[in-house]
Amino acid sequence: MVKAVVLGAAGGIGQPLSLLCKMSPLIDVLSLFDVVNSPGVATDLSHIATKAHVEGFVAAKGDFKGEQQETEDAKKAALTGADIVIIPAGVPRKPGMTRDDLFKINAGIVKDLITAVAKYSPKAFILVISNPVNSTVPIAAEVLKEAGVFDPQRLFGVTTLDVVRAENFVADLLGQKDSSKFNIPVVGGHSGNTIVPLFSQTQPPVDFPADKLDGLVHRVQFGGDEVVKAKDGAGSATLSMAYAGFRFAEAVLKAAKGEKGIVEPTFVYLPGVEGGDAIAKATGTDYFAVPVELGPNGAAKAINIISKANDYEKKLLDEAIKALKTNIDAGVNFIQKPSK
């Protein structure tokens, strides 16, 4: 029996992601939690005739003592027995904002939700979508460490949308309809210049002249801004993110069931994953998105693809690492050195 939980299930990402989970033959129980509207989303989904049984849990409206208990009970009921917890809870960007501008609100939301995960489903795979991923994943790790239940193989920052974009933009540029035949590793983090597509490692190989390459790299790094601008104040990527989040969740679940050879780039705590130490040493950071081979216990092996980067990509990596370190420190310090 596989139980999947979506925290932030009533949101722009949460709803289509929950729909995709409801369609999946890999999921038996789908549990939805949000601070608003999740029972409605759950009831709506429960009318679809597919395998997963759907349950909805919502936080209490207020924050008085009795209501705090009600919210805690809802989290407990949603999370108990979970095999995989997917977290798109939090505020999205508006035009003119960076992902780091979301830290102020989302850091606290992620801290709060991971505290509940640590209590009620400490062995679940945890997939963090909430931005800024470069900081929310270290926050999650620190909360889990403090609770004594941190398993680095089971904590993932979801960077799949960057891979999806890279594959799609390359296909676009080559005038090809089917982007699914491309495999493009995107490494680093998930914001602006911390996103580093390694086009030199594309399978099947592709080759672009320098002027085209600059534009392509920029489009992958700032693909999120393209959507924020087009939505004009109504949020950021939701549908493509639901697709990407589900693609990654499905990969984790398939590998957990024993399927071999599944590799997806994801933002992980390197020292806790086989092969990660060498990458941490090369980058000088403990967290980095790299292609990870998934297995029954989650992240089985970090693949050191960055050692194959060409000179152009090495420059991108240097810039990414500088920015990433600041983001990671902000996340770690949020838990270790909270301001009074």
Ligand X SMILES: O=C(O)C[C@H](O)C(=O)O
Q: Rule CB under 6 A: is residue 131 a binding residue for ligand X? A: yes
Tokens of 253: 């679940």
Residue 200: CB atoms within 10 A of its CB come to: 17
Q: How far lies 208's CA from each of 129, 167, 212, 217, 325, in Å?
A: 31, 14, 6, 11, 30
Query: Per-residue x/- marks for ligand X, 287-316, CB under 6 A?
Result: ------------------------------
Tell me if 99 is assigned to a ligand binding site: yes
* 3-state SS class at 124: coil
Smallest separation, CB 73 to ligand NAD (Å):
14
Residue nearest ligand NAD, Cβ-based: 11
190 given a catalytic annotation = yes
CA 268 from chain center: how many Å?
10
Stretch that binds ligand X, among 81-89, 107-115, 196-204, 220-228 (CB under 6 A): 220-228
Q: How far lies 282's CA from each of 90, 109, 116, 272, 313, in Å?
A: 33, 32, 34, 16, 14
Tell me if 14 is assigned to a ligand binding site: yes
Phi, psi of 313 (to 5 degrees): -75, -30
Tell me if 215 is assigned to a ligand binding site: no
Smallest separation, CB 65 to ligand NAD (Å):
18
Single residue of 45, 144, 237, 300 touching ligand X by CB under 6 A: 237
Contact assessment for residue 219 and residue 169, using Cβ atoms and an 8 Å cutoff: yes
Among the listed residues 322, 320, 317, 323, the one whose alpha carbon sits nearest the alpha carbon of residue 201: 317
Among the listed residues 112, 154, 118, the one whose alpha carbon sits nearest the alpha carbon of residue 136: 112
Smallest separation, CB 124 to ligand X (Å):
23
> Using CB under 6 A as the criterion, which residues of the chain lie in contact with ligand NAD when the complex forms?
7-8, 10-14, 33-36, 88-93, 102, 106, 109, 112-113, 129-131, 133, 158, 161, 190, 235-238, 241
Smallest separation, CB 170 to ligand X (Å):
17
- Peptide bond connecting 132 to the previous residue in cis, omega within 30 degrees of 0: yes
Tell me if 106 is assigned to a ligand binding site: yes
Query: Per-residue x/- marks for ligand X, 11-50, CB under 6 A?
Result: ----------------------------------------
The binder of 286, among ligand X, ligand NAD, none, by C-beta within 5 to 8 A per type, is none
What angle, rounded to 10 degrees, do the helices at 210-221 and 160-173 form?
150
Which residues are annotated binding-site positions? Answer: 8-14, 34, 93, 99, 106, 129-131, 165, 241
**Residues assigned a catalytic role:** 190
Which residues are annotated binding-site positions for substrate? Answer: 93, 99, 131, 165
